[in-house]
Amino acid sequence: MAGNPRNGRPYRRLVASLKAAGLPCWLCGHNIDGRLTEKHPLSFTLDHVVPLSKGGDLLDPGNARPAHRSCNSARGNRTSVKQQRASRKW
């Protein structure tokens, strides 16, 4: 496959489907504002449960989760996730 697979149609479809679902960030539990520009720290990014650098599949929907850009960056390529409690008070 030539070029960057993240620019391919299957990857863009996966990103669009997760973004359209409106799910919260799987790392911090807060909502993700889909209207933010892609460079904003709280914008939507696709995070992989098993990082690509550790053998995770780029296009596997079971390996893809919605995340804030800053949460995704802070996690890096670690496989463990420190679950934070949701900020909602019930």
pLDDT at residue 86 in the model: 56
- The domain of 27 spans 8-75
Confidence of residue 85 (pLDDT cuts 50, 70, 90): low
Residue 82 lies in a domain: no
pLDDT surpasses 70 at 38: yes
Residue 61 backbone dihedrals phi, psi, to 5 degrees: -60, -25
**pTM summary value:** 0.81
Instruction: Tell me if 37 is assigned to some domain.
Output: yes
Is 28 inside a domain boundary? yes
Q: Is residue 84 part of a domain?
A: no
In angstroms, how far is CA 46 from the centroid of its own chain?
A: 3
Separation CA 47–CA 45 (nearest Å):
6
pLDDT at 21 over 80: yes
56 is a domain residue: yes
pLDDT computed for residue 84 by the predictor: 57
Task: State the Rg of the chain over Cα.
Answer: 13
pLDDT above 90 (res 18):
yes
**Residue-level pLDDT at 80:** 77
Q: Is 15 helix (H, G, I), strand (E, B) or coil?
A: helix
Q: Is residue 86 part of a domain?
A: no
Q: What is the pLDDT of residue 47?
A: 96
**What local confidence, expressed as pLDDT, does residue 57 receive?**
94
- Position 31 in a domain: yes
For residues 69 and 43, is the Cβ–Cβ distance under 8 A?
Answer: yes
Asked whether residue 18 is assigned to any structural domain, the reply reads: yes
Q: How many domains does the chain fold into?
A: 1
